[in-house]
Structure 1
């Protein structure tokens, strides 16, 4: 399944996906608000977080008009349906399962599909993924991104996994459009101000590449 939407420019105004892995419902709104105040408009809560459905539902209700709230580590069509019912707008997968990708597209969600090789990337694109996620980026490095860009169509490619603020510019220069920020942004239980400081550092690192 490929169409014009597959080759679209990044959906997110700031191409940094904030990943709040392990966050609980009691913390979610405060951290999401801090991220939005720092300019982030793509926020992912992975489905292996505690009571993720409540966290995502609360975030959508409070901030769904200001930011894209999505679910990560999405593994099944049932997960897709649950996220759609909660009002999520995008999913992030750890793999290229064509059934999950195609089902998410049918339900009207944006799909950021996890991949490692060119073959996996093309499989995800064929299934309908509009965006790609190279994971773990730190294992493959900037040379891998540059080589992939030589053969992949010009759809958004995010790097995720071990990408520090100081390393971000190298990945952008190699051809990624942005990054997903997980443990470098948020660790369960950390104060909101730490999330804000980390988010600000990554945003500034991205902006510095534009100047």
Structure 2
């Protein structure tokens, strides 16, 4: 299963970023996200016991969601995530060794970039999707300018300050999708709270 598969099924182009989630709560939150329609789920590696959390999430979600890790900084972390079945590979920066290792293992890299140089370095390493981060710090005009020079087939996602209030603006600017962290989940939030936010986000996307 790939990001393309998820999106072609009609799921919203949203990666849920569960920074700070614990292994004991991640499955319930994952279920709430999937029930709302969000099927791309990231557990950042600076969360408590993240590899165990990803393992539980992958086992519970099966083909209902594409799950993986965020804040992936080195190839050894890529191997650890792949070892528990994680497919999504999100980074805050461009590390060619991380990207190429993810591609080698059949994962879906989404490296974070800020400049054209970083974007093209990530593409050269094998990335097909790039994460503008922090997106609202650079703005929609900046994203539009970057997209004009990206190779055909390379997709841009916006992360950082993104959510229900501005998903339409980013998609209209040419983003394939957005990643949503604090506007969707904060450490300690329960599944019902996250589910309600997820439903509002999906409704905003449909609108």
TM range (shorter): over 0.9
SS in 1 for 2:124: helix
Deviates more, 1:160-169 or 1:173-182: 160-169
Match of 1:148 in 2: 146
Question: Quick one: structure 1 residues 65 and 11, their matched pair in 2 at CA, closer, same or farther if it must change by over 3 Å?
Answer: closer
For residues 53 and 9 of structure 1, what CA distance do their matches in structure 2 show? Answer: 21
SS in 2 for 1:65: helix
Residues 93-132 of structure 1: pairs in structure 2 closer than 5 A: 93-132=91-130
Match of 1:135 in 2: 133
Gapped regions of structure 1 (runs ≥ 5):
1-7
Q: What's the TM-score, normalizing by structure 1? A: 0.91
Gapped regions of structure 2 (runs ≥ 5):
none
1:86 aligns with 2:89: no
Q: What's the TM-score, normalizing by structure 2? A: 0.93
Aligned residues: 201
Deviations 1:34-65 (A, max 9, x none): 00111111100000000111110001111122
Residues 23-62 of structure 1: pairs in structure 2 closer than 5 A: 23-62=21-60
Instruction: Give 1:11 deviation, angstroms.
Output: 5.0
Q: Over aligned residue pairs, what C-alpha RMSD do you find?
A: 1.4
Match of 2:180 in 1: 181
Match of 1:12 among 1, 6, 25: 6
Match of 1:198 in 2: 197
